[in-house]
Amino acid sequence: MLVPSSLFVAIVLCCGWMDVRASPITTASNTISRRADNYVRVPLYRREPSMPRLAQAVRSEEEVNDNTVMKTIRRRPKDLPLKDFTDAQYYGPFSIGSPPQTFQVIFDTGSSNIWIPGDACRSVACLIHHKFTPSSSSSFVQDGTPFEIQYGSGALEGVLGVDTVAFGHHTAPVHNFTFAMSTVERGLSWIVARFDGIVGLGFDEISVDKLPTLFGALAAEKSLPEPVISFFFGYEKTAKASQMILGGVDKDLVEPGHDFHWIDITVPGYWQIDVHGIDIGDFDACKSKKCPAIVDTGTSLVVGPPEEVREINRAIGATLNSGGAASFPSCEGLDDLPTLDVTISGRTFPLTPKEYVLKVTALGQTQCLSGFAGLETPQGLWILGDVFMRRYYTAFDYGNKQVGFARGRANPPPAAEAT
């Protein structure tokens, strides 16, 4: 018997707040490592997916569909309606100030600004998360310019400040960098989040108020061996090796016999590429044309136009439930479902049922959900989120304006783990 979605929602509302500041659920430590290859490895922690958070993400996307802010995707946005952090699953350490004040953040390739809670914020979300204290940093410079941003899952207001920012405790620092300190945070997603803030890794074109971007600053200061950041999301439950690598790609994290496939960015701003096929059974979601797609570490699922996603979910036997997520009648026999093939520039990246079915357990009951969700956008954009990147080690090359994919190693050697 499946737990009703309303009960799942009640679980998060009554219990989710209590574990917001809980320790990471994976076994990776909260330290940064630099080895002989000179790459910096930042451990990433995974929060297991939740039925109510996924359902809330779908509801947020539906609310955005009819919102006039969708029009802002065509220009430099004040709003980022594509972004929904309700079920963001991977986060890691980032520091601001001197001495460093460390926060848990989403490293988000789908946005371009940095914000963390400020000590002046009195919203519930701020009260139960770590806050930045400017007076404790000898390198802080007050800017005071108002800042606001609207995501699909919530909004925030704040003020700008200038300080040293760095990965982990104080790795690959960027000095005199402008970031935002929230003073008001609106939205349930900020309250139940395991992370404190967002570190955007997108391009200048989507930076709110045209603020400098972290990736651009890292490239300008030559802080890394190469202006490349790669993400390895371990898809096994313990996900010990989940990490972000600064400065390049680690070949030890690639499945033997496979290599990186590099694709040029088509529209700077988001990490947007052309996908040439999204096929399952006899259904081709791209209809023999190019599908524009964003590669986004801050999105949990594979997201696409609602009509096409409905066909994909129909092909795998998933239907929308009362909570708004696409689920299966039972978790039995799912291994026999068809494989979904994503074709990009001549190479096919298959996703098996093991990789696109999400299992969610609460009160001893398990429900199986589809890893595909619908979202209406003016350009008919797809979003390749964590469901795709858990199978494919993904690299973002700022210098060459490319994204690279390689089949991730299922059981990477200990030497490649973040420690």
Per-residue pLDDT of the chain (419 residues; tens, 9 = 90+): 222 222 222 222 233 322 333 223 233 345 555 554 667 888 888 765 554 444 444 444 344 333 323 323 323 333 444 444 444 568 899 999 999 999 999 999 999 999 999 999 999 999 999 999 999 999 999 999 999 998 767 889 999 999 999 998 778 899 999 999 999 999 888 888 889 999 999 999 999 999 999 999 999 988 888 999 999 987 654 456 789 999 999 998 999 999 999 999 999 899 999 999 999 999 999 988 899 999 999 888 999 999 999 999 999 999 987 667 899 999 999 999 999 999 999 999 999 999 999 888 777 888 899 999 998 887 899 999 999 999 999 999 999 999 999 999 987 766 555 54
Report DSSP state, residue 67.
-
Coil, helix or strand for 22? coil
Under DSSP, the state recorded for 213 is: P
Which of 108, 279, 386, 397 does the annotation list as catalytic? 108
Are the C-beta atoms of residues 319 and 325 closer than 8 Å to each other? no
d(CA 260, CA 118): 40
| Domains with residue ranges and CATH for the chain | 5-22+70-225 (2.40.70.10), 243-416 (2.40.70.10)
CB proximity list for 282: less than 8 A, separation 6 or greater: none
DSSP letter, residue 238: S
Chain centroid offset of residue 330 CA:
28
The SS3 of residue 261 is strand
Active site residue 397: no
Beta bridge partners of 379: none
pTM over 0.75: yes
Cβ atoms of 397 and 403 within 8 Å: the answer is: yes
Catalytic member of 84, 196, 279, 296: 296
Residue 356, number of CB atoms within 10 A of its CB: 25
Told to judge if 296 belongs to the known catalytic residues of this protein, a careful annotator would answer yes
